[in-house]
């Protein structure tokens, strides 16, 4: 009994419990004040007051040093990312104007549409994007930054308020026009649906994304704007991407639009740098191509360790993509028995042992590559750190000096020196 009472005391004393406990009466007071002032009781206003209550409770329970540090951090983020700050301010302004100037439609059917959109739209904004992020994370392993999730939430909330305003402002007229012109309305709806489908297909992700290094700095705190990489971030990113690029020496040539980059600031997915991925037009990749591609995925993290003596946590996506290729490779029994669908613990352990052995073998080959080309690798990383971007003509002088270990996979066959001709059955796949 004492154990449970002590656990209960710990829960009650937890900072999060205190903030929630204070936020509840604050939210109740806001609701009473809203009713007294005559403001409507809507799900959207309830959401905003709930967020404001939690923020106010956190502000009250934080000490002066914490409040000062957060204020200074917010100001620095705005100064360093004034473009994002202006865009976010504009979205919040549009959100406030459209919601405060909503109109109530007169037609009963339009009123029902407005009520449904008000409820289901808010659910869609609050539930669908986080669920999509979780599913994408589970499949790719690339955790998006909290800042990008907040940004998408604000975009969605702005679209939600604009939709409510449009229904109130033009819903009655649109309903009357549809009732008077059902055939034209059907044609317009079908045309819009087809155009929407075309846009969705045309904006779909590429089959092979870039080999990228994702930063994790923004995940430690909730920020609306992505933080700029520190000099240390840039050094590790340059080493990571140069490690990937070093393996490209085995291609024998490079596509004209290949690119190696260290980003000035993280993109919407928190990516700090990338090297253009290589894909084939064939549906079936050769054994040597798969072996080479697995080395590419492992080389980024190893490049960090070789250059700086340790690696960071920016290679999780690389590792998951290595696992995907490795499982397909082993399922073709290139290294003996491998169970595509293990049925028991023995088969699972067999598979894990095969994966570990394959990774150990490939890491040993990569260490031989880095040891034999230490000067080239360092010069490549230093040049990338200085220039931020490198194209085909910039990379060839470095990669043409790389000495490949014996038995290193050559996806396009052996070559005497780097060639200016890129194989016709392959292509460069940019992000």
Domain C-terminal end among 204, 234, 260: 204
Are residue 287 and residue 396 in the same domain, yes or no?
A: yes
| Whether the Cβ atoms of residue 49 and residue 27 lie closer than 8 Å to each other | yes
Determine the pLDDT at residue 221: 29
Q: Verify that 247 and 335 share a domain, yes or no.
A: yes
Residues 185 and 269 in one domain: no
Strands 211-214, 277-280: parallel, antiparallel or unpaired by DSSP?
unpaired
Instruction: For residue 166, tell me if it sits in a domain.
Output: yes
Domain presence at residue 79: no
Do residues 138 and 286 share a domain? Answer: no
**Domain co-membership, 222 together with 317:** yes
What is the pLDDT, as a whole number, of residue 366?
92
Same domain, 288 and 398: yes
User: Is residue 310 in a domain?
Assistant: yes
Model pLDDT for residues 330-344, shown as the tens digit of each residue: 888 877 887 778 888
Q: For the chain, how many structural domains are there in total? A: 2
pLDDT value of residue 80: 61
Question: What whole-number distance in Å separates Cα of residue 90 and Cα of residue 270?
Answer: 23
- pLDDT < 50 stretches in the chain: 136-146, 202-208, 216-225, 429-431
Q: Is 269 in a helix, a strand, or coil? A: coil
342, 389: one domain: yes
The predicted pLDDT at position 145 comes to: 43
pLDDT of residue 367: 93
Q: Is residue 349 part of a domain?
A: yes
Strands 426-429 and 271-275: unpaired
17 domain-assigned: no
**Virtual CA dihedral for 131, 135, 137, 141, nearest 10 degrees?**
170
By CB atoms closer than 10 A (0-12, 13-18, 19+), residue 151 is buried
User: What is residue 372's predicted lDDT score, i.e. its pLDDT?
Assistant: 92
pLDDT of residue 133: 56
Give the strand order in the sheet containing 259-262. 211-214, 271-275, 259-262, 389-391
Query: Do 270 and 215 touch, CB atoms closer than 8 A?
Result: yes
Tell me, yes or no, whether 414 and 283 share the same domain. Answer: yes
Q: Are residues 360 and 263 in the same domain?
A: yes
Residue 80 lies in a domain: no
Confidence at residue 289, expressed as pLDDT on a 0 to 100 scale: 87
User: Would you say 106 and 176 are in contact if contact means Cβ atoms under 8 Å apart?
Assistant: no
CB-based contact 300:318 (threshold 8 Å)? yes
Residues 136 and 219 in one domain: no
CA distance 228 to 88: 17
The last residue of a domain, from among 164, 183, 204: 204
Domain assignment present for 28:
no
| Domain housing 190 | 101-204
**Rounded CA gap, 261 and 242, in Å?**
9
What CATH number has the domain bearing residue 316? 1.20.58.760
Domain boundary among 174, 204, 234: 204
pTM over 0.75: no
Is residue 230 within 8 A of residue 287, CB to CB? The reply is: no
222 dihedral zone (left: phi>0; alpha: psi -120 to 50; beta): beta
The pLDDT score that the predictor gives to residue 266 is 73
| Angstrom distance (rounded) from CA 33 to CA 40 | 11
Q: How far from 192 is each of 189, 199, 200, CA to CA, in Å?
A: 5, 10, 12
Query: What pLDDT is recorded for position 52?
Result: 79
179-219 residue pLDDT tens: 888 888 787 777 777 776 765 554 444 444 566 665 543 32
Same domain, 187 and 274: no
Answer whether residue 23 is part of any domain. Answer: no
Give dist(CA 389, CA 405) in Å, integer: 28
Confidence (pLDDT) at 422: 64
What the block records as the tokens of 229 is 């990489």
Within 10 angstroms of residue 299's Cβ, the number of other Cβ atoms is 30
Could you give the angle at which helices 231-247 and 345-372 cross, rounded to 10 degrees? 100
Looking at the fold, whether 199 and 228 belong to one and the same domain comes out as no
């Amino acid at each position: 009994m004492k154990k449970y009472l002590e656990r209960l005391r710990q829960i009650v004393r937890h900072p999060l419990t205190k903030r929630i406990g204070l936020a509840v009466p604050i939210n109740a007071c806001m609701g009473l004040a809203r009713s007294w002032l005559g403001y409507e009781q809507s799900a959207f206003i309830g959401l905003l007051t709930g967020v404001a209550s939690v923020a106010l409770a956190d502000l009250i329970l934080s000490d002066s040093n914490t409040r000062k540090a957060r204020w200074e951090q917010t100001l620095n983020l705005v100064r360093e990312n004034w473009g994002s700050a202006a865009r976010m301010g504009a979205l919040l302004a549009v959100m406030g104007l459209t919601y405060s100037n909503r109109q109530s439609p007169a037609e009963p059917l339009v009123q029902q549409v407005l009520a449904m959109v008000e409820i289901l739209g808010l659910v869609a904004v609050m539930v669908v994007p986080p669920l999509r992020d979780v599913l994408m994370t589970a499949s790719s392993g690339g955790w998006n930054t909290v800042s990008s999730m907040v940004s998408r939430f604000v975009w969605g909330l702005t679209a939600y308020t604009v939709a409510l305003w449009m229904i109130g402002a033009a819903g009655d007229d649109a309903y009357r026009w549809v009732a008077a012109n059902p055939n034209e309305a059907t044609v317009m709806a079908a045309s819009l649906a087809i155009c929407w489908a075309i846009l969705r297909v045309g904006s779909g992700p590429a089959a092979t994304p870039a080999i990228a290094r994702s930063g994790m700095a923004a995940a430690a705190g909730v920020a609306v704007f992505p933080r700029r990489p520190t000099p240390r971030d840039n050094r590790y990113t340059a080493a990571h991407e140069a490690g990937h690029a070093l393996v490209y020496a085995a291609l024998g040539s490079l596509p004209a639009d290949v690119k190696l980059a260290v980003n000035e600031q993280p993109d919407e997915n928190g990516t700090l740098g990338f090297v253009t991925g290589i894909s084939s037009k064939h549906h079936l990749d050769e054994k040597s191509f798969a072996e080479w591609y697995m080395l590419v995925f492992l080389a980024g993290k190893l490049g960090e360790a070789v250059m700086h003596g340790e690696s960071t946590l920016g290679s999780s996506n690389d590792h998951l993509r290595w696992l995907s290729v490795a499982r397909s490779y082993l399922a073709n029994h290139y290294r003996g028995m491998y169970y595509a669908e293990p049925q028991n613990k023995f088969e699972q352990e067999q598979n894990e042992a095969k994966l570990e052995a394959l990774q150990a073998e490939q890491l040993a080959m990569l260490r031989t590559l880095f040891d034999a080309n230490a000067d080239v690798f360092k010069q490549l990383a230093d040049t990338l750190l200085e220039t931020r971007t490198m194209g085909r003509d910039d990379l060839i002088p470095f990669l043409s000096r790389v000495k490949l270990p014996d038995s290193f996979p050559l996806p396009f066959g052996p070559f005497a020196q780097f060639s200016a001709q890129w194989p016709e059955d392959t292509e460069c796949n940019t992000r």
